[in-house]
Structures are given as structure tokens and as C-alpha cells.
Structure 1
Amino acid sequence: MANSYFNENTLEELIEEIKYVYKSDDRPWVIGYSGGKDSTTVVELVYKMLLELDPEDRHKNIYIVSSDTLIENPLIKIYLSKMNDLLGQAAYRDGLPIKSDMVTPPANNSFWANVIGRGFPTPRMNGTFRWCTDRLKINPSGEYIKKVIDYEGKEVIVLLGVRKAESIARKRRIEGRELANRLLNRHETIRDAYVYNPIVELTTDDVWDVLLRCDGGRTPWGSDNSELVALYADADSGECPFAGMQAGGQTQSCGNSRFGCWVCTVVKEDKSLNGFIKSGHRELIPLAEFRSWLMSIRDNEEFREKKRRNGTVYRDKQGNMGFGPFNWRARKLILQRLLETQQIMEYELITLDELKAIDEIWDQELDLSRRVLVELYEEITGEKLPWYDYKEPLIDSETVDELEALAQQNNVPEELIRNLLLSVYQNKNYSNQKILRDGIDRLLNQQWLHYEIIEEIENENQ
């Protein structure tokens, strides 16, 4: 700690810097708040800075935004929701220009809408198909910032709890973006936004010093940061306070992971989830079991299409037909297992809005009966979804059976028949018949239907 930034630059000086940046212009602030130690430190410093200002100097709004991916670890989600509520209440009590919000991905672009609805394979550990972060975290937060810009009618300053000490790679990225002699950097993707990193020079020990030694660990909005320490310790996350810091009268020991989505398949072992379970939160065991099962079926050909969603096909390095999305059977099975886990947990793992979105995707892409999802839900939960009684089959079951039999007799893929029927239904009301014809042409000309012929021609030309 002898050479730490925090000792050389006192807490008062850091708050003075934040105060200087706040008073220097009229651009509103947006703070990204995850509930973790770094973002909590930023929020706490900013809150204290506002309390020191005269009311007339609190001249611009501060928006605190948290991101709920809808697959957050339940313990973290409960904690984050609690902090958001306390922040809003305290800011109102203290007359501070703070607005605290939580953003979520749109129901039709959530993790489950993409996996269960569209069949997206779960993100890979090697990062080659990591589609989740943008959709679940970055885009919702970015849209929120853009709405603030539109509402305020001016540029905004985004405050982040990033630090150079977190990793060498992050330190280089931060230093690469810094502008000479300036505290603000241009936002990488949002044109009318700048970024201010107030704790960029702090070490991990400095952060815990701010959170636990100042005001006895109490936050200005009425919570106790020892609760945050307990979460890190239980999650075996390795970023607990420096030596001698205690929570609940006991010295904390930690491992080396971050809080994350409970179903994350990017890492082989979810150390955070497993850490909570080892710490006594046995109610989370069903989540760990579901996650392991979901990872086990990812690359099982029994559960995968042999074509991409757009109908194209490919061969892998070994010459085998490459995998596409989860097939119809797998999507139904994943939903079934998820609902069963939800029943065991007595905790919402998939929202009604997500179920509605998945049902609509299945209606458009898979389900001629239009009743698979609502009946599966009723079978597992014993309850009917609000739209249960409005679901009518596109084609009666007898006709579907007859069409499937005819397809088999004539060696026509059943999937093609289903897709043609769905396409005709979706385009039948257009007055321009070209739209209907184009939809049918696209289906009939998809690569998977003609791949053997294409390969034969390519082999002849070699």
C-alpha cells in the first residue's frame, strides 16, 4: 500500500477531482452500476461529492443504470435490486439529482429467446461464438445512454468503474484511449458521449479502503458494504479487502472469479456459482446442475441441426457436416428442463414476456399446432399462460399427420413442407403477390436442399 494512488492522493482530493469535472460543464452524467466493488466505489464517491455541493451547484442530472441480463445469479440480482431501490429513495430524501434505473434486454432478444426460441448454440468457451455480451449487456445499456442523450438534448459523460490495476490488457486499452492532459475520453461507440474513469488509478486495496474504512463501511444511501464483502467471499471471487479487513467479525478469504450469469457457458467452471454453493447456498445447486446439462448437449449431434438458420451448410475441418442451431427437439427439451428447474427453485428463471416471445418465434418458424409451448408450460407448472385460450392451430392435427405421411412417401423433407406452409401463412395477406413468391423461392433454393448436387458439381470441376 505504500506506493498506492490512494495514499498519495487523499480521498478528499479524489472527490475534489470528481467535483471539478462535474462543475466544469452542463453535460449530464450516466454511471454504469453493476453492484460490484468498483462501480459501487464510483457511485459512493459521486454521491458524497453531491452532498458536499451547495444545492444550487447540483446543476445537472446523474443517471445510475444497472444491467439485468435476466440470467443474473439470483443472489446478485436480489442485492442489485435492493441497492437500486435504496439509491432512488436516498437521492429523493437528500434532494440530489440522481435517477436510478435497471435495464434488461428486449424479451425477443434475451438469452432464452435466442437459445430456446431461435436455437442459438450457447456461447463457446473459446469465444468464437460469444453472441451474448452485446445482446444482453452492452446494447441495453447503450440504448439507455442514447435515450438520455435524446431526453437531455446534449452530450453526456459516462462514468465507469474501470481500473488499470485490474489487468495488464485492460491497462493498455485504457492508456491507448486516453487523450493527453484530459480526464475525458471519447466513447468508443456512442457519438455524443464521453467517458470519465474516476478510479482508474486506484488499486484493489484502495477500492476496499474507500468502501470499508470510510464512514465505517456505511454507504450514503443507507446500506452496509460488509454485505458486499460477504458476497465476494461467498462467491470465492478473490477480490476481498486487503489484509486485516473483516466482515461480520471474520477475516474473509476469496478465490479468483467474477460475478456473472448463472448459466454462462463461456467458462468451463463457474467459480462464482460454485463458490456460493460451497459457502452454504445449497438452493443454487439446481442452477449448477442445469448449467452442466446444457453444456453437455451443446455439441451433441442428436440435438443440433446440420444447417445454419439461413439454410446454408458447411463441413468442419474433419470433413463432417457442420452443426447449426439447436433442433426442434432440443429447444423443447431445454424449455422443459428450465421450467422444471424454476419449479424446484421457486424463483423466476424465465419471464412471461420471454415465454411470449419464444411462443411467437415458434409460431413463425416451427410449430404448426401453435400449442406446443402453452401446453408444455401447463403440463409442468399446472398453470395456464395468459394467452393459452387464444392459441389456435394453424392446421388441424389430422391434416398435419397426412402431410407428414405424404412427405415421407414422396421423399420430401417434412421440414420443407412445414416451412412452406408457415411462409404462405405469414405472407398471404400481402396484396403484392411477389412477396409470397419470393418467400417460397428462398425456401426452395436454400443450400441444404441441394448440397449433394452442389458438392458433386464442385468435385467434378476440381
Structure 2
Amino acid sequence: MAMNSYFEHVSYEELREEVKYVYQSDNRPWIIGYSGGKDSTTVVELVYEMLLSLNPEERTKNVYIISSDTLIENPLIKIYLNKMNTMLGEAAARDGLPIKSCMVTPEYNNTFWTNIIGKGLPTPRMNGTFRWCTDRLKIKPSADKIKAIIAEEKKDVVVLLGVRKAESIARKRRIEGRELANRMLNRHETIQDAYVYNPIVELTTEDVWTVLLEHNSGKTPWGSDNSELVALYSDADSGECPFAGMSNSGQTQSCGQSRFGCWCCTVVKDDKSLNGFIKAGHRELIPLAEFRSWLMSIRDVDEYREKKHRDGTVYADKHGNKGYGPFTWEARKLILTKLIETQRTLNYELITLDELRAIDEIWDRELDLSRRVLVDLYYEITGDRLPWDSYKEPLINSDTVTSIQQMCEEYDVPDELVRNLILSVHQNKNYSNPKIMRKDLERLLNQQWLHFDLLREIDNADNQTGA
């Protein structure tokens, strides 16, 4: 059964007056989380128009509009979001509004590709038991920016979010559970000195589209046309947007149920948004869908996974064998190769130079005695040299590396252990205190993966004695 429209009882102008009341109630700066979607766009429109309605001397505090770029956004959405951020900044300057629009990204040593290709972190799971991506790529960058604003402004802040009770029953309960009696603001769940205001919490999906398409003839106060947003939602739904009067399906419920996720998301089995764009005619995105399917297919392939964690610890699976750890170095090189090839096919940046540099530094520190693997791989695929290519000199020449590998095989010593010892000595050689190097070497020699069989024998013996 359809929910009653909020605007059956309250007008858009009255909602805007509420926003104005909250804005003028204190001196706390506002921060709007803007994703470019229908809900956050509605919030930004409300606030922008509210500020326009004020006299200049009444615009007493800043409004920060923060967008999050995970660096793996769907290209169509990223282009649109960048465009909106630019238009918002230019329009606010033109209209004399205290709006500051910015885009936040993860730190380059903690992006999706740096974690997977650099550190070998397995891709997030569909069942949610290993979903490390949301916090690192989206939540932390935005939270860090909010904390920076709090420090700069030296005040508490109010964060405006485009969440609505109508979105889901679970979300409705979470929202109601955080509401403070007789107040419009909730304490932020994780950020001290921050409160949350949800101005469109009572709106239905149909109400949101009413605001975006009927108010001001679908034009935003910063100069864009919301029909472009409708087109994005329509394409994400495979080109079928069942607005009343907008399709031949006869349906009256709104489109826009799709969420614009990361193009390489491995948390869902089928990326309905990406597939929808392709079905709607954006065939240039096919290589992204193909790469995503391949990346998901290699996650639990034995040859692509280490049998230890990054810290050298090991666990036994249900069959008593070593369980999976990170992607192997060979797998990481393969993922990077296919990613750069896909990037060349699309002629669209999928991995930034800063991420490549961060990955190269990780490989130099943990894996690469030649210190040339990444830059040479990039050159072989693209024909271009990375900006730091000429500075890359081998730690040990290739003949010595080959000799080390041969001796390791001859004396049955793990070549990975020898490589790690060499890298450790190199990284600690400038410390004046020899205890630092000795401690690190002892750590490497005592890692669990080297003694797994012995530890298992001891464990089995203890179990038999106990029995």
C-alpha cells in the first residue's frame, strides 16, 4: 500500500521554513552529505533556496557540501557528480551564499586498488562477513573531513543527511530510535561534537520526485536540470522508468530504486545499476562488467591466494589445511595488468597515478627486490613511462636474484623468507640501534607459516594426551 504523501499536509514552502528555522536556531555550521542522488539533491535544493530567501546579513554560518568519491565510482555517476560540484561552487559564489562544495577521496595508501593490488587484501564478500570497503572508502574520508571542519570552525556542527523513513522498515526503526524527544537534531553516532538533522525524513519517494521535477519546473537553483538525474536513474533501471505518464508500463510507482554503487563492487552478485546502464545503451561500460565478473571469479581460486595472513599467521580450514590469506603477488600483478588494459580500452582513468605510486611503494617494501616490476609492467602495457620510472634502481641485480632463488631451491629454504630478510635488512640498515634490526629478523624467522606443520603436530599430540 502506498504511503501518504507528506505534501498532503505540509507544503514545500512550510518544509523550507522548517529548514530556515533550524538554520537560524544556533551558530553551528552545517555539513551536507551530497551523493548526487535524488534524496541528497532534494536536501541541497531545500538548503540552497532557503539561503537565497535570507537577507545577506542573515546568512550567518557556513554550509559545507561534501561529496565522496571512492575512486571506483561508476564513470557516468562520477562525471555527473563532478559537474554538480563545480556548478554548485560557481553558483554559490555568484549568489553570495556561504556554501563551500568539496569532494573527498580515500587516502591513496588506503584505496580499493591499493588494498587489493598493493596489500593483496581479498575482495569484499557478498555475504558481508568481509566487507572492509565501505568504512575505508566512504565513511572514513567523510568523517575525517567533518572532523577537520569542526577543528577549523572551533564549533559543533550539524550534519544534514538525505535519509527517509520510507526507504526501508529497518532504516525507519534506526532513525526513530535515535530521535531525541521534542528536538529535530540527533546526536551523531560516531563523531563527537556533531549532530544530525534529517530534513526530508518524512518524505516519500514520490514526494522527493515531486520536489525535483515539479518545483521550479525541474530546474535546480544552481542551474542544472533534474531531468538529467531522472535519465541516470532510468538508465540504471535498464532504461525503464515507471513514472506515471513516463512509461508505457502502466505502473505508477517511482523509479530510482537503484543505488549507484562502485563499478567493481563484489558485495552483490549482480550489479543491477551497472548492468542497467549497459542495457540502456551505455555499451562502453561492458569492459567494466567483464572485469568485475573476472575479479569475482578469482577470489577463492587456490593458486591466487596465499596460505598465510600478512602478519605471517596461519589458520587451519575445516579440512586441517592452511586457510586462505591475501592474494598472491602473481595474482596482484595479474589484476593490475587486466585493470590497466581495461583502462586503455575505456580511455577513462580507473586507477590514479597516486594509487600506482602507493602500490609501487608497498611492493618495494614487501615484495620486489628488483624494484622494477610495477614500472616495467606499466610500460609494457601502455608504452608510457611512469613519472618516477627513472628513479627506480634494483635493490639487487637480476643475476643475484636468480642465484638466490637457485640456492633456496637447492637447500630447501623458502625463497620468500630470504627475500623478506633481505628487505628487512635494507629497511633497517640506517638505524643506529642494532636491536631494531635483530628484533625484526627474529619476527620474520618465527612467523607461524614457517612452522605450521610442527605446530600442528604439537597440537595433535596435546589433543591425544588430553584424550
**TM-score (structure 2 length as normaliser):** 0.96
Aligned to 1:276: 277
User: Do the aligned partners of 2:305 and 2:324 also contact (CA within 8 Å) in 1?
Assistant: yes
Aligned to 1:444: 445
SS state at 1:63 partner: strand
User: Do the aligned partners of 1:204 and 1:239 also contact (CA within 8 Å) in 2?
Assistant: no
- Structure 1: gaps of 5 or more residues: none
User: Do the aligned partners of 2:31 and 2:158 also contact (CA within 8 Å) in 1?
Assistant: yes
Question: After superposition, what is the alpha-carbon deviation per residue over 1:375-396, rounded to whole angstroms, capped at 9, x for unaligned?
Answer: 0000101100000000000011
Aligned to 1:375: 376
CA displacement at 1:160 relative to structure 2:
0.3
Mapped pair 1:34 → 2:35: yes
CA distance in 2, matches of 1:93, 1:45: 18
SS state at 2:348 partner: coil
Question: After superposition, what is the alpha-carbon deviation per residue over 1:238-282, rounded to whole angstroms, capped at 9, x for unaligned?
Answer: 996742358xxxx99858531000000000000000000000000
Q: Which moved more, 1:261-270 or 1:232-241?
A: 232-241
CA distance in 2, matches of 1:147, 1:392: 39
Aligned to 2:130: 129
CA displacement at 1:197 relative to structure 2:
0.4
Mapped pair 1:187 → 2:188: yes
Aligned to 2:107: 106
Question: After superposition, what is the alpha-carbon deviation per residue over 1:284-338, rounded to whole angstroms, capped at 9, x for unaligned?
Answer: 0000000000001000011000111111111223433210000010000000000
- Structure 2: gaps of 5 or more residues: none
Aligned to 1:386: 387
CA displacement at 1:410 relative to structure 2:
1.0
Mapped pair 1:428 → 2:412: no
What code does the residue aligned with 1:315 have?
A
Mapped pair 1:197 → 2:198: yes
What code does the residue aligned with 2:24 have?
K
What code does the residue aligned with 2:343 have?
Q
C-alpha spacing 1:193/1:245, structure 2 compared with 1 (3 Å)? farther
CA distance in 1, matches of 2:6, 2:320: 56
User: Do the aligned partners of 1:239 and 1:255 also contact (CA within 8 Å) in 2?
Assistant: no
Aligned to 1:419: 420
User: Do the aligned partners of 1:212 and 1:226 also contact (CA within 8 Å) in 2?
Assistant: yes
Aligned to 1:95: 96
- Percent identity over the alignment is 75
CA distance in 2, matches of 1:306, 1:111: 22
CA displacement at 1:4 relative to structure 2:
1.6
Aligned to 2:402: 401
C-alpha spacing 1:19/1:454, structure 2 compared with 1 (3 Å)? same
CA displacement at 1:54 relative to structure 2:
0.9
SS state at 1:416 partner: helix
C-alpha spacing 1:181/1:224, structure 2 compared with 1 (3 Å)? same
Mapped pair 1:175 → 2:176: yes
User: Do the aligned partners of 2:120 and 2:327 also contact (CA within 8 Å) in 1?
Assistant: yes
Aligned to 1:65: 66
- For the aligned residue pairs, the C-alpha RMSD in angstroms reads 1.8
C-alpha spacing 1:46/1:256, structure 2 compared with 1 (3 Å)? closer
SS state at 1:158 partner: strand
CA displacement at 1:452 relative to structure 2:
0.6
User: Do the aligned partners of 1:369 and 1:392 also contact (CA within 8 Å) in 2?
Assistant: yes
User: Do the aligned partners of 1:239 and 1:256 also contact (CA within 8 Å) in 2?
Assistant: no
CA distance in 2, matches of 1:238, 1:435: 61
User: Do the aligned partners of 1:238 and 1:256 also contact (CA within 8 Å) in 2?
Assistant: no
CA distance in 1, matches of 2:38, 2:258: 13
User: Do the aligned partners of 2:180 and 2:186 also contact (CA within 8 Å) in 1?
Assistant: yes
User: Do the aligned partners of 1:237 and 1:256 also contact (CA within 8 Å) in 2?
Assistant: no
C-alpha spacing 1:241/1:63, structure 2 compared with 1 (3 Å)? farther
CA distance in 2, matches of 1:234, 1:25: 42
**TM-score (structure 1 length as normaliser):** 0.97
CA distance in 2, matches of 1:185, 1:461: 54
SS state at 1:99 partner: strand
CA displacement at 1:237 relative to structure 2:
7.6
What code does the residue aligned with 1:320 have?
N
Count of residues in Structure 1 that have an aligned counterpart in Structure 2: 460
CA distance in 2, matches of 1:206, 1:238: 22
Mapped pair 1:144 → 2:145: yes
CA distance in 1, matches of 2:289, 2:356: 22
Aligned to 1:206: 207
Aligned to 1:288: 289
SS state at 1:22 partner: helix
CA distance in 1, matches of 2:190, 2:202: 24
